[in-house]
Structure 1
Amino acid sequence: MGHGKGTESRVWAGYVRPSLRPPSLMPVARVPLFFLLLSLALPAAAQLRLSAPLPTSAKASGGGTEFYLEPVTSDGALGFPVGVAASPDGRLFVAEKNGRVKVVHADGTVPSTPFLDLPDVYPDGDRGLLGIELHPDFPETPWVYVLYSVDDSPQPRPDSRSRGYGRLERYRLSESNPDVADLSSRQILFGESYEDGIPSCFNSHTIGTVAFGHDGSLFVGAGDGASWAEVDPGGLYPECFGENLVPEEQDQGAFRAQWTASLAGKILRLDPETGEGLADNPFYTGDPTDPESKVWALGLRNPFRFTVGLRDPNLPTAPGELFIGDVGWGSFEEINRARGGENFGWPCREGPRPLPAYASATPPNAALACEQPRAGVVTGPLAYFHHYLPDQSSPGGRVAFSITGGAFWDGDAYPERFQRRLFFADYSTGWVLAAEVNEDGIVAVEEVLSETYGLVDLTQDPVSGLLLAVDIAQQRIVRLQHSGSGVNPPVARAQASLRYGVVPASVEFTSEGTFDPAGGTLTYEWSFGDNTGATGTRVTHRYDQPGTYGATLTVTNSSGLTSQTTIPVTIGNSMPEVEVLQPTSPL
């Protein structure tokens, strides 16, 4: 999540410069990606065909790593998935941006009834339901935590980008059906109103991750809630502040990140039972309800995804180190390490450098200005990646545009050299890196995948030991597999010449992107969802009746292992008529 300045192309969860944008992600006319994804969420009969297909595969980056992505859910089985939490019982709990939480069973099936459908979610822009976490003792302690954006003010909203707030709440599993929430158990931990929520005065840099520390404390990430389009020192969006809205003293723009009396631009550390700050937090005031008492680290622009490091056996009661992906503005993406009390410098610094645009800006609270002393000494990033110049990145050799803070891997599913490595991704450039981290910082980096555009969350599955990723571009969950991890099934991928049409509709299906990790021979069987089928790598089928069909490709390798993928195809009686109400002028 986040943006660059000025006229740069806008994509959900980051931004991509026109000169470097991945062609398969960007539609024509420089349409923002969240509008592209919005079009994918429309009812089937109202879909329009886009000229640029979404990516369907990832490439191993060489060096003998041989990683690949294996689908857990079918393409399109989920709607705008943005976060995933994995349960020891084999289920996955997936947060969808528009406010639903869905359960994915171990076989990849998704029940038709969602676990939770939040009525108050405000999904404008980069807002929405963005964070999900399970209690550390789940499912024995059956709490599910959700972090989302709200705008419940009765006042008219003059600009959808300029008002909202973040809320954290939790729900128990229903005793009668563990695949749905007990709505009567709802508990708001913070964000009952604008006054105690995370300020969101622009439709980006809002909220992100919620994660448990090793000591049972709960960490929450919050962006600065300021504009990505211009320097925002405060005063740009007065409609966000006032009675029954964000308190007026919070009108400090990006400088909220430097103010411990604001929850914005921070990592928070909370009591998971109450949402209050903890007494050993670095800015604790004596009152656990004070904003300062909740702050763990400050000076962050958009810490959309972070992870808790592996447990240190020498510090068994410590919450753990945080590794934070902070999405940048004009020049750098960052990975930061937080142990408590750090100030990472935003908006006065970005990457390794001071930021002149904000150095000359003065917020209403002049004590927050860049030339003033601030809480703590500024801590530099563990790693940073320049948007254009790979030689100015550290580690060098690559650029990035929208960092997805990742997950540590610890297990036996991958080669030994990846033990205790930090895996993280860049949403826009499509790489996935595995980094060796020690006390001094990142000492080695290996690129394990490329062209994996659209990854917005990473976590380790406690059952399989594999890393899981949320692929918002394909609207699915995937596993990060390694071809040297034993006997692996083939990976089925399918394409359709159209997903929506009118009768009679002739659809060409291909198995492009399908492969066998062992390099064996594959057979291809198609079922078109209307009691007919075919074999081959490329087939054509005609639908003569309206309806929604699941066209399934089953591939089998020489060892008898199989894999399936399904493409939904919707055929109607006639094409819809689409009336464009917004925008009223050309994009």
Structure 2
Amino acid sequence: MKVRIVFLCLIWFSLLSVLQAQLPEDFYDLPVRSDFDFPLGLTFDGQGRMYVWEKKGRVFIVDTTGERLPQPLIDITEEVSDWKDHGLNYFTLDPDFLQNGYFYLYYVVDPHHLFNYGTPAYHPDSTITHAPSIGRVTRYQADPATGFTTTLPGSRKVLLGESPSTGIPILWEFHGLGTMLFGEDGSLLLSAGEGSNGLKPYDKEPDTVLLTYQALQQGLLGEDEAISSYRAQYLGSPNGKILRIDPETGDGLPSNPFFDPENPRSAQSRTYALGLRNPYRFALLPGTGSHYPADGRPGVLLIGDVGAGAWEELDVATRGGQNFGWPLFEGIFPNWTLWNQPAPPNPQAPNPLYDGANCTQEFL
């Protein structure tokens, strides 16, 4: 008993010493503001103003004196699905924001809004949670007449997810949308999770946890995409990827590694890196990349990919086309949950030996 008491005391004093530790010189721990509702992130413009986005779908400006402007820059709470990991996941300013006023929102669409907006069935106060939906990217323009503190009416432009079948499928309460930022070359980069719990190679049957079956009925994805965590490996799906798009059109860029000129808005054309589980946050390594989009080098990406049960990953994407292995690998080790189960066929990888008679496996 005495040994246990001494051990607990040591833990307590160790914890107390950590709590009382002094910050390094020139570091300060000060509250800035506390009047936000679940803020997910912040960024700054070239004048030093701070932009804080809330999970529910509002973006507020804090001026250089520390005062929050009373009205949000934008409020899309009516359109945003705010539940579990989902909401207004990211907000970013255009590199030339103080000249063009453009800003970008990356969010999950409320299913009621997605399927009913513009119809008699729509009601602005209605919301649906725990249901499949899509991730969407929209661009708006701030009004120069108000010092870029309000949004110009009619400036909304959907870059990705303009319809239920063209967004990033949201198929679980986790592993949805992540980060959105600009590359050194002016391209817009997005991260998206694979939308599955990774327990089986298919997820097209009714399930008490996953939402893929309902999403199939609603046309949010195709049958070929109902392959659970293998979506991270399939170029026909935007899930489990880093996407790289043109911030003006939403198209994939011709310098992307898998670009298809016949379908520039396809998941394949937009894919920059693949094999990711839940790349919730990533950052651009300063001083890397090219200034020219045609070079296909937006910069080195440092990707925080949330692990399943064994490893948390910090992936370094130095070039387009890199594959980080999920769901067959977690870190550098096999993911045995799926390793020992037959993988779904890949319709983008036809078997050259298939003849329908002697070889009946059509795809690899």
The 2-side partners of 1:362 and 1:97 are apart by 38
Which of 226, 241, 256 pairs up with 2:231? 256
Letter in 1 for 2:134: Y
Q: Is 2:288–2:300's contact at 8 Å kept on the other side of the alignment?
A: no
The 1-side partners of 2:184 and 2:223 are apart by 37
Which of 164, 186, 190 pairs up with 2:133? 164
Aligned to 1:126: 85
Question: Is it true that 1:188 corresponds to 2:136 in the alignment?
Answer: no
Aligned to 1:354: 334
The RMSD of aligned alpha carbons is 2.6
Shift of 1:92: 1.4
SS in structure 1 of the partner of residue 53 of structure 2: strand
Aligned to 1:344: 324
Cα 1:323/1:71, change in 2 over 3 Å: same
The 2-side partners of 1:153 and 1:361 are apart by 36
Which of 272, 276, 280 pairs up with 1:304? 280
The 2-side partners of 1:220 and 1:148 are apart by 11
TM-score (norm 1): 0.49
Q: How does 1:70-219 map to 2 (within 5 A)?
A: 70-71=29-30, 73-75=32-34, 77-118=35-76, 119-150=78-109, 151=111, 152-153=114-115, 160-177=129-146, 178-219=148-189
Structure with bigger helix share is 2
Q: Is 1:233–1:361's contact at 8 Å kept on the other side of the alignment?
A: no
SS in structure 2 of the partner of residue 357 of structure 1: helix
Cα 1:66/1:172, change in 2 over 3 Å: same
Q: How does 1:106-505 map to 2 (within 5 A)?
A: 106-118=64-76, 119-150=78-109, 151=111, 152-153=114-115, 160-177=129-146, 178-227=148-197, 230-231=199-200, 233-235=202-204, 236=207, 237=211, 238-286=213-261, 287-312=263-288, 315-317=290-292, 318-338=297-317, 339-362=319-342, 365-367=344-346
Shift of 1:153: 3.0
Q: Is 2:232–2:326's contact at 8 Å kept on the other side of the alignment?
A: yes
Letter in 1 for 2:87: G
The 1-side partners of 2:20 and 2:46 are apart by 29
Q: Is 1:60–1:68's contact at 8 Å kept on the other side of the alignment?
A: no
SS in structure 2 of the partner of residue 139 of structure 1: helix
Q: Is 1:60–1:66's contact at 8 Å kept on the other side of the alignment?
A: no
Structure 1: stretches of 5+ with no match in the other structure: 1-57, 373-587
Higher RCO by CA contacts (8 Å cutoff, separation 6 or greater): 1
Shift of 1:176: 3.4
Letter in 1 for 2:163: S
Shift of 1:224: 0.7
The 1-side partners of 2:232 and 2:26 are apart by 38
SS in structure 1 of the partner of residue 327 of structure 2: coil
The 1-side partners of 2:20 and 2:224 are apart by 50
Residues 180-225 of structure 1: CA deviation (Å, up to 9, x unaligned): 2123100000111221100111011111111111111110111111
SS in structure 2 of the partner of residue 311 of structure 1: coil
How many residue pairs match? The answer is 305
The 2-side partners of 1:321 and 1:61 are apart by 35
Aligned to 1:464: none
The 2-side partners of 1:258 and 1:300 are apart by 8
The 1-side partners of 2:60 and 2:50 are apart by 8
Cα 1:162/1:233, change in 2 over 3 Å: farther
The 2-side partners of 1:274 and 1:198 are apart by 17
Shift of 1:69: 4.9
SS in structure 1 of the partner of residue 95 of structure 2: coil
The 1-side partners of 2:327 and 2:104 are apart by 30
Q: Is 2:166–2:220's contact at 8 Å kept on the other side of the alignment?
A: no
Shift of 1:127: 0.5
The 1-side partners of 2:20 and 2:92 are apart by 30
Cα 1:345/1:181, change in 2 over 3 Å: same
Letter in 2 for 1:148: Y
Letter in 2 for 1:282: P
TM-score (norm 2): 0.77
SS in structure 1 of the partner of residue 165 of structure 2: helix
Letter in 2 for 1:290: S
SS in structure 2 of the partner of residue 292 of structure 1: helix
Letter in 1 for 2:156: R
The 2-side partners of 1:135 and 1:210 are apart by 11
Give every structure 1 segment of 4 or more consecutive aligned residues whose post-TM-superposition deviation is greater than 4 Å: 58-62, 64-69
Letter in 2 for 1:207: L
The 1-side partners of 2:156 and 2:70 are apart by 22
Letter in 2 for 1:143: Y
The 2-side partners of 1:289 and 1:164 are apart by 19
Structure with bigger strand share is 1
SS in structure 2 of the partner of residue 300 of structure 1: coil
The 1-side partners of 2:132 and 2:277 are apart by 18
Q: Is 1:161–1:201's contact at 8 Å kept on the other side of the alignment?
A: no
The 2-side partners of 1:203 and 1:97 are apart by 15
The 2-side partners of 1:61 and 1:210 are apart by 35
The 2-side partners of 1:69 and 1:234 are apart by 48
Percent identity, aligned pairs only, is 35
Structure 2: stretches of 5+ with no match in the other structure: 1-17, 122-127, 352-364
Aligned to 2:3: none
Cα 1:261/1:73, change in 2 over 3 Å: same
Shift of 1:359: 1.2
